[in-house]
Amino acid sequence: MIAIKIPTVSYDYENEKLILKNDEITVNVDTSFKAHLKWETHFQEAKKGVDLSSMIAVVSEWIKDEKTASKHLTDLLRVLYCFISSPKLPNFEDFVGILDTSNIETVIGKISAVIQEVGKFASKN
């Protein structure tokens, strides 16, 4: 299992001003069948039965173009969420809660890296 760092943002009020705080969280990338189970449990029904392997193929094309990736951001995040494992992110809502438009380009870069790693593992099996 490999670990990656995902940038996070949070907001605090200090002296009656909204302050953006940037940080990062280390998560494990889990390429086991658990990722497929996570997809089936949380997203497959909403995506009209599309399985994770098919979605990875689609996402692999989307991330080649930043504009296209931006249009499909929620689906990109769903795929990434299926491959990450962290007790700090027990559900998808918690995962998207650490993201903000200020760090989304970096997150898309992380998605690309994870998809590449998944492809390497898939080709070995």
What residue numbers bound the domain in which 59 lies?
2-124
pLDDT digits (tens, 9 = 90+) for 17-70: 778 788 999 999 988 899 999 999 999 999 999 999 999 999 989 988 888 988
List for the chain the helix, strand, coil content (%; round to 5): 50, 20, 25
Rounded alpha-carbon distances, angstroms, from residue 60 to 29, 52, 63, 90, 112: 17, 12, 6, 25, 8
Q: What is the pLDDT of residue 81?
A: 95
Question: What confidence tier does 121 reach under pLDDT thresholds 50, 70, 90?
Answer: low
- pLDDT classification of 122: cutoffs 50, 70, 90: low
Give the pLDDT confidence score for residue 124 in this predicted structure. Answer: 55
Over the stretch 76-86, which tens digit does the pLDDT of each residue have?
Answer: 999 999 999 99
Query: What total number of domains does the chain contain?
Result: 1
